[in-house]
Amino acid sequence: MPTGDRKPGAMPAAGAAAGGSATDGADDGEALAGDFAAGEDAIGLDDWLQSHDVEDVVVVGIATDHCVKATALDGVQAGYSVTVLRDLTVGVAEDLDDAVAEMELGGVDIA
């Protein structure tokens, strides 16, 4: 989608800075980069999720054994029900069994 056609609050274009994202729930794949992205009035992602009554978090992305694992475990620790979609992650290491086991042990659902 061209930059000018993004809906308000949608994830910034490639190369633009954003501190976090959450889906907008419209099943269109777009992500939100709301007030928690940057600025003096910004709120933390956890505060934003709580203010929108989010209880379940799905984590996907690059570095299953680093970023994905840390985000998922942080989410569980913060009280969210967290699911990692294994087919939508990729690791740095070739063998991700230890990272997946650590997430499962920490209360993350692996789907």
Confidence band (pLDDT; 50, 70, 90) for 90?
A: very high
- Strands of the sheet containing 81-90, edge to edge, are 56-62, 81-90, 109-110
Sign of CA dihedral 10, 15, 20, 23: positive
Tokens of 40: 């003096």
| Weakest mean pLDDT among 32-36, 77-81, 91-95, 100-104 | 32-36
Helices of type H across the chain = 45-51, 69-77, 97-105
| Long-range contacts (CB closer than 8 Å, 24 or more residues apart) made by 103-106 | 103/69, 103/72, 103/73, 106/72, 106/73, 106/76
Instruction: Give, to the nearest 10 degrees, the angle between helix 69-77 and helix 97-105.
Output: 10
Domains contained in the chain, CATH given? 1-53 (no CATH), 55-111 (3.40.50.720)
Model pLDDT for residues 64-75, shown as the tens digit of each residue: 999 999 999 999
Model pLDDT for residues 11-56, shown as the tens digit of each residue: 333 333 334 444 555 555 445 445 455 666 677 888 989 999 999 9
